[in-house]
Structures are given as structure tokens and as C-alpha cells.
Amino acid sequence: MNIVILGSGNVATHLGRAFKLAGQNISQVWSRDITHASTLADTLASEPIDNMFDLDRSADLFMIAVNDEAIRELALELKLSDQLLVHTSGSTGLSALEATSTKIGVFYPLQTFSKIKSVDFRQIPIIIEANTPELLTTIRAIADRLSEKVIELNSEQRKTLHVAAVFACNFTNHLFGLAKELLDEKGLDYGLLKPLIEETLSKIETNEPAFIQTGPAIREDQVTIQAHLELLKNNPALSDLYTKLSQSIVNLHKRSQGLV
Amino acid sequence: MNIVILGSGNVATHLGRAFKLAGQNISQVWSRDITHASTLADTLASEPIDNMFDLDRSADLFMIAVNDEAIRELALELKLSDQLLVHTSGSTGLSALEATSTKIGVFYPLQTFSKIKSVDFRQIPIIIEANTPELLTTIRAIADRLSEKVIELNSEQRKTLHVAAVFACNFTNHLFGLAKELLDEKGLDYGLLKPLIEETLSKIETNEPAFIQTGPAIREDQVTIQAHLELLKNNPALSDLYTKLSQSIVNLHKRSQGLV
């Protein structure tokens, strides 16, 4: 199978590697910046291109892996007709590809990628969607070569999964970043939090998060909450976030207990 | 050494077990509720008490492990004079014990405890403080029996560590809870997020969180952000939290780049 990858960022890079490892041929890598295209293409024994005249329209699969806001426009630029075209976005509807080809789908790997770190693709859920049952079968077969967890969801379900992932992954990472900044400012070692972070993660492996919530907010311990806000008073954005998250903990608790 | 534990919650339970494992004698467990005192005392071969008349004033160490807001009042009720008294709170100053005894200190294990799950106490940082250098040496010797990581911090430093722990642990767990609720509402499997959560955690083992931030906020990808807010529109508190956290990601990025 010949695959053309459109994009050269983290998702394009990791998908390219995974396909290569699975024995597929990446015939071309496209990017608006030929340097970026070349960097990735070199690692995949592929041809870098930066314009659509050079596009190999005979490829079996065209995979768009660019920022969400660029997907629709890029799809139109491709000027395909009945070639298989997929995007790799969590929050973009299948419909973004409708004007482009008669065979369209979604191939969304649910993972956070960074170029410096490799991942075991076999364990990454790949969320698929297509505009016909036959095409879904085709896309599933392609996804099965990369991952043990291939799941069909419609666009609405996939968007929900993506926003949940933002809460569980992006926002979580940010909280670690805020914690580190707080400690750095006082010359304290961020490494002190490591056992705590590991235990927090270990607990949710086997427990529902809302049921194992700890801390001052769930105890409605106003003395501690006020002491923390006093400590954060020089950073209004951070103390506001503290208050909002504490309130959200109380509210989720009530919802999970069926109290509201 | 004879230890009296005041309290019967998660911290009291885990500290009691850890001292017992280290060969110390827990002579008494106090709680306002004798049933709670008995439940813990039974596991520690200790005497349960629910009033201060029965308190063994000859004990070597009195350890207060109750909610922050109850510490000061409970300390006064003990009517000690020169016995060694410590509390186990992250956000309560040493001064909360001043009116009670001439020998006061802090013994704060930096971990999230739940009764159902045991932890390896040797890896838990214990943050200590005392009102004299001699006493600090004594408390350090006690802490060394439980943990490999005993660290002296003053009350201000300890409070900062505690608020950082709330961000990195309590708030993080809550975000997992919110993610699960979002998925539950649409009948989607929370387990799908597991590889993503594991990778997020794995990344921060070796990288500074602010430098590996991913997601729509750090890309300032307004199309995705707006799609997510549209999805959350029926839950104003959650969409407000989404907006605040996204803004906070951008702000932390600017600060970490020295742009503000």
C-alpha cells in the first residue's frame, strides 16, 4: 500500500513511523515548508513535496495530519475525486472532507505525541469513521495493522472523547506545570511531588476518580482553602483557578452522589 | 517508644501502620467517636480512647492527625506541658501548637492516603519542623525510621509544597473525574483514555511539564477550542473551567519563555 502523509508535525511523524514499522510504503510527505517535509520524509525513505502539482494521485491512501483549522482548506487543495482520504483529528467532523472526495474517513490515534519520545503504537486506541460501510472495513483493516484497539465512533462521540482527553491529559500536564512553578519560586524541589503523583495515578487505575477524591475541597476544609488562597494572593489568575477547581470538586461530588 | 495518635482518619491510619511496621508501640488511639478509635486501635494492638481523662500523659510522642481546622482546639484540650507534640498537616503552621507544649513540631507525610490502599512509606517524603534544634534532631530520628526522604522545611515552605500538591494531585484527580463523567454521559469507555493518561505521566518523569504541553490551548488552535466549548455549552461551569485552564496554559507558556 502507498500512503501520502500531508503534514510533518508530531502526529504525522508518529503515524509515519508506525506505518513504516508495519511494512507500509510512505510514498510522499507533503508540507508547506519543504524543509519540514524533508526532515520527516528522510526518516521514512519517502519523497518530500511542498506543492500539489507533485502529488502522487495514484496513492492508495491520503492522510491529513495537520492542525484542525487547516484541514478543510488543505483537503480542497488536494483536488481528489474518488481516492481514499482521511484526517487524523479528534475534534473535526468527517464532513470537513465531504467536498473533496467520495471516499472519506477519520483515523484518529488517541495519544499525546512528542517528536522526542517514541510510543508503543499497538496500545494506542485508533478511532475510525467512514462515509460508507465498505470504506469503514477498509479503514479498519489499515488501522488493525497498527493497533490492537481499533474503535468505530461517529464524529459527535469522537469529539466528546477528544474534549475528555484534553481534561485528562493536556490540563493535567498543565497542573503539574503550575505545581512546578510554585515550587521553583520558593526554591523547592519538584521531585518531592513524584511519589504523590505516582500514587494519584496508581489509584485511578482501579478506582473511579470521583470516589477517591482527597484534599481540602472535598473535605470542605475552609481553613486550609483560605490558607492556600492567602498564599496565592499575588497571583489572581492562579487563585481564581484554585477556587474554580475546588468548587468543581464539590459539584462533581454532589453529581456523582446523585445530590443534584 | 510509646506513641499516642490523635485521630482515626486516613493519615492516622497510615501513620499508625507505618510506625507499627517500624517496631514502635502505639499506646493509644484517640477519636471523639470511640467506634472510630476502636477500629484503628484494634489493628494496632492499641488502646482506644474518646476523652482526655484517659490520655497516657507519659507517652513519648503525641501525634495529631485530624482535619486542619480541628488541630488548634484539640492541641489545647490535650493540656500537655513539656511532652513532645507534633501535627501532621501540610498547611498548618507550627505556631498552632504553641500554646500547648514547650516541645512542638511538624511531621507531614507528603502523600495521598486512602484506607483501602497500602503504600510504601519508605518512599514518602516526610516534611519535618520543630521549635528547637534539639527537637528537630529527635523528630528527624523518628521520621528516619519510616522514610528514606526526611526533609526539613519551615511552615511557609511546607504550605507552598502543600498547595503545589493540591494542584498536582487533588486537582489532577478531579480532572480525571470530569473526563470520566463526560464519557459516561455519552456511553463511552473511560478505559480508552488509559494509554493517554499513562503517556502523560510517563512524559513528565523526564521532562519539564511546561515544555511538553500539548493540546489546542498551547497551539492557540481557536477552531478546536470553539468546537470543545460548543460541546460543553450545556455545562457553564465546565466550559468556564475549560476556558480558564486554556488561558492558564497560554500564560504559563509565556512566563516559562520569559515573555512576561
Chain B CB contacts of A68 under 8 Å are 216, 221, 223-224, 227
Beta pairing class for A61-64 and A84-87: parallel
DSSP state of B46: -
Chain B CB contacts of A174 under 8 Å are 209, 213, 217, 245, 248-249, 252
Sign of CA dihedral B31, B34, B36, B41: positive
Question: pLDDT for A166-213, tens place per residue?
Answer: 999 999 999 999 999 999 999 999 999 999 998 888 888 888 899 889
Prediction pTM value: 0.90
From A74, A170, A158, A106, select the one nearest B227 (Cα to Cα). Answer: A158
Question: pLDDT for B51-109, tens place per residue?
Answer: 999 999 999 999 999 988 899 999 999 999 899 999 999 999 999 999 989 999 999 99
Question: pLDDT for A120-139, tens place per residue?
Answer: 899 999 999 999 999 999 99
Tell me the C-alpha to C-alpha distance, in Å, between residue A98 and each of A20, A141, B48: 28, 22, 72
Nearest CA in chain A to B157: A186
Question: What pairs with residue A107 in β-bridges?
Answer: A128
SS3 of residue A185 by DSSP: helix
Q: Which residues of chain B have pLDDT under 50?
A: none
Q: How much is the pLDDT for A88?
A: 97
Chain B CB contacts of A122 under 8 Å are none
Q: Report how far residue A16's alpha carbon sits from residue A102's, in angstroms, rounded to the nearest whole number.
A: 24
pLDDT at A159 over 90: yes
pLDDT at A157 over 80: yes
From A232, A234, A257, select the one nearest A244 (Cα to Cα). Answer: A232
> Is there a contact between B260 and B254 (Cβ–Cβ < 8 Å)?
yes
Q: Do A183 and B171 touch (CB under 8 A)?
A: no
Q: Report how far residue A100's alpha carbon sits from residue A82's, in angstroms, rounded to the nearest whole number.
A: 9
**Interface test mutation site (partner B, options A88, A118, A149, A167, max chain B beta carbons within 10 A):** A167
Q: Report how far residue A153's alpha carbon sits from residue B132's, in angstroms, rounded to the nearest whole number.
A: 63
C-alpha cell at B206: 523526564
Phi and psi torsions of B84, nearest 5°: -75, 120
Q: How much is the pLDDT for A256?
A: 86
Question: pLDDT for A48-77, tens place per residue?
Answer: 999 999 999 999 999 999 988 899 999 999
Question: pLDDT for B94-108, tens place per residue?
Answer: 999 999 899 999 999
Distance, in angstroms, between A78 CA and closest chain B CA? 21
Mean pLDDT score of chain A: 94
Angle among Cα A29, A30, A31 to the nearest 5 degrees reads 125
> Is there a contact between A143 and A135 (Cβ–Cβ < 8 Å)?
no
Q: Report how far residue A19's alpha carbon sits from residue A144's, in angstroms, rounded to the nearest whole number.
A: 11
Q: How much is the pLDDT for A146?
A: 96
Place of cell 526554591: A187
Tell me the C-alpha to C-alpha distance, in Å, between residue A55 and each of A20, A87, B86: 20, 17, 72
SS3 of residue B199 by DSSP: helix
Q: Do A200 and B112 touch (CB under 8 A)?
A: yes
Q: How much is the pLDDT for B258?
A: 82
pLDDT at A117 over 80: no
Q: How much is the pLDDT for A113?
A: 83
From A8, A15, A2, select the one nearest A121 (Cα to Cα). Answer: A15
Distance, in angstroms, between A58 CA and closest chain B CA? 32
As separate numbers, helices (DSSP H) first and strands (DSSP E) second, chain A gives 9, 8
Q: How much is the pLDDT for A202?
A: 86
Phi and psi torsions of A6, nearest 5°: -100, 110
Q: How much is the pLDDT for A201?
A: 87
C-alpha cell at B231: 460541546
Q: How much is the pLDDT for B69?
A: 87
Strands in chain B per DSSP E: 2-6, 25-30, 47-49, 61-64, 84-87, 103-109, 126-130, 150-152
pLDDT at A30 over 90: yes
> Is there a contact between A130 and A105 (Cβ–Cβ < 8 Å)?
yes
Between A170, A197, A249, which is nearest B168 by CB? Answer: A197
Q: How much is the pLDDT for B238?
A: 93
How far separated are the first and last CA of chain B, in Å rounded? 54
Between A91, A168, A248, which is nearest B176 by CB? Answer: A168
> Is there a contact between A157 and A142 (Cβ–Cβ < 8 Å)?
no
Q: Report how far residue A118's alpha carbon sits from residue B122's, in angstroms, rounded to the nearest whole number.
A: 32
Q: Report how far residue B16's alpha carbon sits from residue B22's, in angstroms, rounded to the nearest whole number.
A: 10
Place of cell 509515519: A16
pLDDT at A34 over 90: yes
